Structure 1
Amino acid sequence: MSSARPTSRLARLLRSASFRLTLFYAVLFMASAGALFGAVYWTATAAMQTDMAAVLRSEAYQLAEVHRRSGLGGLADQIARRINFRTRGPIFYLLQAPNRRVVVGNLPGMPPVDGVVDFVPQPDAAVPEADGERAKLTGFGLTLPDGSFLLVAQDAARLTDMQHAIVRAFAWASGLTLLLAIAGGAFLSSSFLRRIDTITRTSRAIMEGDLSARIPAHGTHDEIDQLIASLNAMLGRIQQLMDGLRQVSSDIAHDLRTPLGRLRQHLEDARERATTTEAYDAATDAAIAEADELLETFSALLRIAQVEAGAQRRAFTEVDLSELARSVGEAYQPAAEDSGHTLDIRIEDGVRLTGDRQLLAQMLSNLVENALHHTPAGSTVTLAVGKAGTGIAIEVADNGPGIPEAERAKVFDRFYRLDRSRSTAGSGLGLAMVKAIAGLHGLTIELRDRNPGLGVVVTG
């Protein structure tokens, strides 16, 4: 088991995308280095050959000048001195008379060749050997005016040594590069796999029911951290939706039990006690009323779910919020007067917002209706819309009894109702819808104490 796990880990490492990508770039780099090696090798070799030829040509023409001034004897004496003193390094000379007799030199005779020539001297020449092989010479031949032949040559071992040095340098550099690439690829892949394993463990924890699990970020703000941030935001949204679903299920089970019980009681009364057509009609009407209330509640829940899912965002257009709020306020003026309220409308012109006109109208209607419904007759309800810096501000305020501070955070929950409101009609979903619509439009909503009364402020 202990040997299988490292083998499996190594195989997974070698199969990882990051390791394969590193190897791909390593091979690409090696190919580039090979092309560079060829260019350097060819350029350096050509440069050194040109330099050697230039040195030998200069030496040969200097000696030719000596021949012009001093004749063949003077040239022979000059070559002899240079061979004895070797002031210019390992340079080889050959001076042949017109009849190919060797006059002086440390090279055996050879057929005259003008210009640059590469050759391997005869075994009797005093030329050093390398690895059991006679050295290759590069020479420059020159036929003199009297028919004699002059050859100046140099050992080509320097050129060979330089070529070998270039090959060794590139071989070491390539090997080291490949080794570092493999080691770097293994390190990067291992780090990458550790982060992937963290994401996998978190995913498994979530699949096992722990919706609060989150993926830890490294704080490097790289692509993986950005992906983790997006995944954590998505997980947070999923947890929020699941918590909301559980809460809705619990609220439905708790708050709809009473109307369902009343509906069942009406039906039982109709079956057991109604003896006349009028009694049946009354029981049926009461059951229909209870069923309509249930249907309205479920419709409101469905609308809230649709809004929270963000499906309406695709239909957003620019809305004249001033005109919309003014029309909502005018629509509720008669209801406010009938209930003994005063509806004060304070609308600033030119307030615009990108959103869904129908949903925004429902948000404003719910706020106004909620204020009228939960304040006593004689209260004043104010609907105000204006600009707040670069954004907008909506406020529906009243001078009624307000909401206790301890309960303000709960009034936007589904089915939540204050104790004093439980005797009045309603499902407790109005402010939940307001919160969902505000969230869909990127608006924030808060409750403020107006002393007396309450203000619901929506800003964005």
Structure 2
Amino acid sequence: MSFVRLSEIPRTISFRTGLVFLGLFGCSFLALFGYVYWQTAVYLKTEADTLLYRQVENRSAQDPQLQLREIRNHAAQDADGRMPHSLFDQQGQFLAGAIEQLPPFTAYDKPQEFRWKKANGHHRPVRFIVHRLADGKTLLVAQDIHDIREFDELLIRALVSGGVLLLVVGLFGAVVLGYSAHRRLDKVSRSIKGIIEGDLTGRLPVRGNNDDIDRLATVVNGMLDELERLMSEVKGVCDDIAHDLRTPLTRLIAGLERTQRRGLDEAQYAASIDAALNEAKSLLLTFKALLRISEIEDSARRSHFAPLDLNLISADAVELYEPLAQERDINLTLEPARFPAVMPGDAQLLFDAICNLLDNAIKFCPDHSAVRLTVISEPNRVGLCVTDNGPGIAQAEQEAVLRRLYRAEASRHTPGNGLGLSMVSAVARMHDMKLSISDAAPGCRIELTTRRTA
């Protein structure tokens, strides 16, 4: 477990995102709790005011003598002063009731509040209404709102304690997220550092939960796979160039040295020059093929892609190679698709790829054999398949034959430069096609397919 300093956690995106969500959730919490508090307080006050107005209405409808007697009885019955009533004369002098002094008020028949000091010295919050009676007396109807105030304080304490708890839990969660993100990025950074130092087999760690970092790591790992493949190809090309081009260069140099040492007549001298030119042209063709593959892999021609039908291109390729097949009595057949095999691509490059596959099949097949080109047009994919009944490709070499200049031991004495399938592979990658090599029992089966697009 790697040690993460606390000072590094606030710089992580996860920690800052946690703080943002903490702020949003805190504001939502305050707004919701404030709304609940406001609605509850308004409801309780409204209920208290409704009760006060009802008491005022009932007292006002009573006869003065009955009213005075009922107020005195009410004061005796309501010993705790939960709902005190009082009556004052025209000059504001106390007549009866629990509250002996008229509190200050701003208007008649308007609910107001004051703190009532009882005989025992305790102060109680009271909500009251002052009403002028028809005979000029003043009626005071009040209600003790101590319970309402306690409920308000309880709600406020719940708000404060909930806010503190939310803040603590949110900060703890943000720290945990920041710590987890920092540890994960540390692993990614160590992996990248190892790759920079030369370990191209290293890959970024993936958890498998398909989150943002996982998706980014998957894309980067795909890029590293391609880089590793390209570096392996470069190394393989260097090795194959050193191995395969050494022989023609040696023959070229040896021939020129023999020509230089020996006294040759004009015909022999011309023959030596022709042999050297043929060797040089063969080398030049090899390098031109390498440059063409590099051009294809550069993907610079994707902008020229257009819809094309593989049936038409395959027919042109078969027509081109029919004479070569007939020379060796090879039965070259085309099985077109019943439906158009349309895909976006470069017609010339796909034609060259098909020609390379047919050329290889005819070259390595024995006389009086068969080569078949099949066009694939299915609901979910299009492509083509070349099948022959020649010696085939060993399973151990089915990936190696796609490398540039690679030639199997069984085909080293066959004319060619080992770049045909490399070019086909490059065209397949450029067109997002899958290249697969399998055993046709006997022979070889090479398939190029891609998903059908709308």
Report the TM-score, using the length of structure 2 for normalisation: 0.86
The aligned residue for residue 445 of structure 1 is 436
**TM superposition shift of 1:127:** 7.0
The aligned residue for residue 328 of structure 1 is 317
- Identify the match of residue 228 of structure 1 among 213, 217, 220: 217
**TM superposition shift of 1:84:** 1.5
The aligned residue for residue 110 of structure 2 is 116
- Identify the match of residue 90 of structure 1 among 82, 85, 88: 82
The aligned residue for residue 53 of structure 1 is 49
Say yes or no: does 1:422 pair with 2:416.
no
CA distance in 2, matches of 1:60, 1:388: 90
**Contact preservation (8 Å) 1:438, 1:445:** no
Q: 1:407 to 1:94 in 2, by over 3 A?
A: closer
**TM superposition shift of 1:97:** 2.4
The aligned residue for residue 207 of structure 1 is 196
Query: Aligned runs of 1:133-212 on 2, under 5 Å?
Result: 134-212=123-201
Q: Alignment RMSD, CA only?
A: 3.1
CA distance in 2, matches of 1:218, 1:90: 66
CA distance in 2, matches of 1:205, 1:170: 52
1:408-446 CA deviation, whole Å, 9 max, x = no partner? 554333333344533332112112222332343313322
SS in 2 for 1:344: strand
**TM superposition shift of 1:275:** 6.4
1:321-364 CA deviation, whole Å, 9 max, x = no partner? 12211111112222333455443344345442422211211111
**Contact preservation (8 Å) 2:437, 2:444:** no
CA distance in 1, matches of 2:380, 2:207: 36
Q: 1:45 to 1:362 in 2, by over 3 A?
A: same
**TM superposition shift of 1:203:** 0.8
CA distance in 2, matches of 1:274, 1:89: 142
SS in 2 for 1:146: coil
Query: Aligned runs of 1:379-390 on 2, under 5 Å?
Result: 379-387=369-377, 390=380
What one-letter code is carried by the residue in structure 1 that aligns with 2:417? S
What one-letter code is carried by the residue in structure 2 that aligns with 1:48? L
CA distance in 1, matches of 2:138, 2:410: 129
What one-letter code is carried by the residue in structure 2 that aligns with 1:16? T
**Contact preservation (8 Å) 2:116, 2:126:** no
What one-letter code is carried by the residue in structure 2 that aligns with 1:446? I
Give unmatched runs, 5+ long, in structure 1: none
Number of corresponding residues:
445
- Identify the match of residue 119 of structure 2 among 118, 122, 126: 126
Q: 1:101 to 1:455 in 2, by over 3 A?
A: closer
CA distance in 1, matches of 2:92, 2:411: 132
SS in 1 for 2:418: coil
Say yes or no: does 1:106 pair with 2:95.
no
SS in 2 for 1:81: helix
Say yes or no: does 1:358 pair with 2:356.
no
**TM superposition shift of 1:272:** 4.0
**Contact preservation (8 Å) 1:107, 1:121:** no
SS in 1 for 2:289: helix
What one-letter code is carried by the residue in structure 2 that aligns with 1:385? V
The aligned residue for residue 10 of structure 1 is 6
CA distance in 2, matches of 1:35, 1:411: 69
Q: 1:341 to 1:21 in 2, by over 3 A?
A: closer
**TM superposition shift of 1:400:** 4.2
CA distance in 1, matches of 2:38, 2:408: 92
CA distance in 2, matches of 1:174, 1:389: 60
Give unmatched runs, 5+ long, in structure 2: none
**TM superposition shift of 1:185:** 0.9
**TM superposition shift of 1:10:** 1.0
1:83-125 CA deviation, whole Å, 9 max, x = no partner? 11218952223212234332212223338962135354686x5
Bigger shift: residues 432-441 or 143-152: 432-441
- State percent identity of aligned pairs: 33
The aligned residue for residue 281 of structure 2 is 292
**TM superposition shift of 1:284:** 4.0
CA distance in 2, matches of 1:444, 1:175: 62
Q: 1:89 to 1:287 in 2, by over 3 A?
A: farther
What one-letter code is carried by the residue in structure 2 that aligns with 1:126? A
Report the TM-score, using the length of structure 1 for normalisation: 0.85
Say yes or no: does 1:31 pair with 2:20.
no
What one-letter code is carried by the residue in structure 2 that aligns with 1:49? K
What one-letter code is carried by the residue in structure 1 that aligns with 2:110? V
**TM superposition shift of 1:303:** 2.5
